[in-house]
Amino acid sequence: MRENIHLGCEKCTRRNYHTTKNKKTHTEKFSVKKYCKWCKEHTNHKEMKL
């Protein structure tokens, strides 16, 4: 049921984090605000393809 996803920075598009999500209950794209070490600031990170 759970699917591995990568979280990528919306500003520089680098994939910085990975996590899992339940595909049946959360069908929309996952987005969260996290720290990007390349941008050196907190930016939105959204779900990207593996």
More confident residue, 1 or 40: 40
Question: For residue range 15-38, what is the model confidence (pLDDT) as tens digits?
Answer: 999 999 998 998 899 899 999 999
Q: What is the pLDDT of residue 49?
A: 80
Q: What CATH number is given for 2-48 in this structure?
A: 2.20.28.120
Q: What is the pLDDT of residue 1?
A: 83
Q: What is the pLDDT of residue 21?
A: 92
pLDDT, mean over the chain? 92
CA distance 32 to 46: 7
Say whether pLDDT at 50 is over 90. no
> Hey, where are the domains in the chain?
2-48
Q: What is the pLDDT of residue 10?
A: 93
